[in-house]
Structure 1
């Protein structure tokens, strides 16, 4: 697994299709592996008696909301490191990467300390039935133990992507995915640990992935003479720079949590169907986000080098790629729609609702292609403040439609309104020039 830590080829001017694919294709594999963790868990837990699958959906939604707020550790680090690579300063790039790793470890420990005792209350916010809440709390508490490792994976991934290396994250993600699947099947079905076995399998896989990233980043830091000691001003600066991304991500999590809570209140069949539909949407979203990862790395590098023309050119190309992939994914969902409920061994009541929702999942894939690409480009440019304000505006646009939704289909239609609002706000920003800030 090569670690790209030199400022030679990575700081070159390439922004064409070949360069986009060089970064996006490995990122695609790495990103797809992440939702595959959840898909694998859903397939295995789906073999357990109800309401195990619904409990997995509630606990995963809560955990995703908690960890999702820390996604700036990957996105912010990618942009910061890539900008320094573009400016020709790999040692400073590694310094910012090390600061991100220390911040990830500290935040991970804090998450455990705060959220462990609050786990039952967090689950209760979804309005789950007593048995479902009990299972969801068990899964959530075990999963929280893996938070430091998971956040180190996020930060380590950001460092390598900023260094224009998306191959190493691919190798780590695929290995972790395979290990997660084996452990989950063994713990849940072989040893009979139930939903707790699923959580333990994922925690172990995440811990081993974090260990690999630590080794690779430390090796790169030593190569460039970067100190491994925590630099408090640097860590504080990394946290401050990520605050706007936290707001942006918090808005996204509010949307997802609101949808899960409303689906839970509609009944066990609805939340089970919503859980499966969300897994499929997340799988496709991470696949589309591969182009956004390329956008973060290329935008940071080209703006660091002061080349706004290359930034514009790459952005246009990536938007085209995003739309094209969205069309393909939407058609694939429609073609597979009758077969997908069977993959999750869904009962008739769940299958009926899921098939209806999948029409909307397919319809909004091209919109998602534009949204994810432009989101990645603006993150790479360091335009976090605008993303925070846009997140607030689009969330406000979504909530009234979600609250009045009387069915699962209406709830997903409200989700589509949110995606359209995001596309409009991001497109308006990308069309202007305020985000094209150059230099280190």
Structure 2
């Protein structure tokens, strides 16, 4: 690839990223499907990237507490990744359904889809939170934690998994706002 072609490609990608974040209404039914998918994916990619920073920050803060604390955070974050995956799945589905209804010029159906998504998320959250809180020690043990890590870290794991409602609702509500193109509420 020629240097000028490479520069043009990078410039094009930067312009597409700006376009996805500028908050203007986009008609994704016209033009390239690749560009439309890329524009819709950028906010979710940024959101997930920033979420992974939380694990690093948690590790930094507990690094002074010893090896068991670091092990607990690492193992719990591995399990929380499953919660992130469920949240992203629900968020992506909600974004698609709400955006479709908005594209059909049916805001009432979009609101209904958003409300149904929230109800489904609450059911999933109750199941995940209760399971995580009740079986925190067993989850840590299944992840390969030593008995000392299980003893010292079960409370942290209970709190993190019990608080998964915040993670799921954060992703889902942002997805609903993305679908409705209400950028100032999710960016």
Q: TM-score, normalised by structure 2?
A: 0.72
Q: Does 1:360 align with 2:162?
A: no
Give the SS at the match of 1:330: helix
Give the SS at the match of 1:339: helix
| Contact 2:133/2:162 (<8 A) preserved | no
Distance (Å, rounded) in 2 between the aligned partners of 1:367 and 1:387: 15
| Contact 1:326/1:368 (<8 A) preserved | no
Give the SS at the match of 2:137: coil
- Size of the aligned set, in residue pairs, is 166
Structure 2 partner of 1:94: 33
Structure 1 partner of 2:120: 321
Which of 94, 108, 116 does residue 295 from structure 1 map onto?
A: 94
1:86-129 deviation per Cα after TM superposition (whole angstroms, max 9, x unaligned): xxx3x62515248x3xx9xxxxxxxxxxxxxxxxxxxxxxxxxx
Distance (Å, rounded) in 1 between the aligned partners of 2:76 and 2:179: 30
Deviation at 1:250, TM superposition (A): 6.6
Structure 2 partner of 1:286: 85
Distance (Å, rounded) in 2 between the aligned partners of 1:359 and 1:95: 41
Give the SS at the match of 1:326: helix
Deviation at 1:254, TM superposition (A): 4.7
Structure 2 partner of 1:369: 168
1:279-311 deviation per Cα after TM superposition (whole angstroms, max 9, x unaligned): 111212211332111111112222222211111
Structure 2 partner of 1:276: 75
| Contact 1:319/1:369 (<8 A) preserved | no
| Contact 2:98/2:176 (<8 A) preserved | yes
Distance (Å, rounded) in 2 between the aligned partners of 1:272 and 1:302: 45
Q: Flag the 1:353–1:334 CA change in 2: closer, same or farther, 3 A.
A: same
Which of 336, 341, 358 does residue 140 from structure 2 map onto?
A: 341
Deviation at 1:337, TM superposition (A): 2.2
Deviation at 1:319, TM superposition (A): 0.6
Deviation at 1:366, TM superposition (A): 3.0
Structure 1: unaligned runs, 5 residues or longer: 1-72, 77-81, 104-154, 159-241, 389-440
Distance (Å, rounded) in 1 between the aligned partners of 2:69 and 2:172: 31
Q: Flag the 1:250–1:289 CA change in 2: closer, same or farther, 3 A.
A: closer
Structure 2: unaligned runs, 5 residues or longer: 1-16, 21-25
Give the SS at the match of 1:92: coil
Distance (Å, rounded) in 2 between the aligned partners of 1:348 and 1:305: 56
Query: What is the correspondence of 1:397-436 to structure 2 with a 5 Å cutoff?
Result: none
Distance (Å, rounded) in 2 between the aligned partners of 1:298 and 1:355: 38
Distance (Å, rounded) in 2 between the aligned partners of 1:329 and 1:352: 21
The Cα RMSD (Å) is 3.3
Distance (Å, rounded) in 2 between the aligned partners of 1:92 and 1:347: 55
Greater relative CO (CA pairs within 8 A, separation 6+): 2
Q: Flag the 1:266–1:383 CA change in 2: closer, same or farther, 3 A.
A: farther
| Contact 2:68/2:153 (<8 A) preserved | no
Q: TM-score, normalised by structure 1?
A: 0.33
Distance (Å, rounded) in 1 between the aligned partners of 2:44 and 2:85: 22
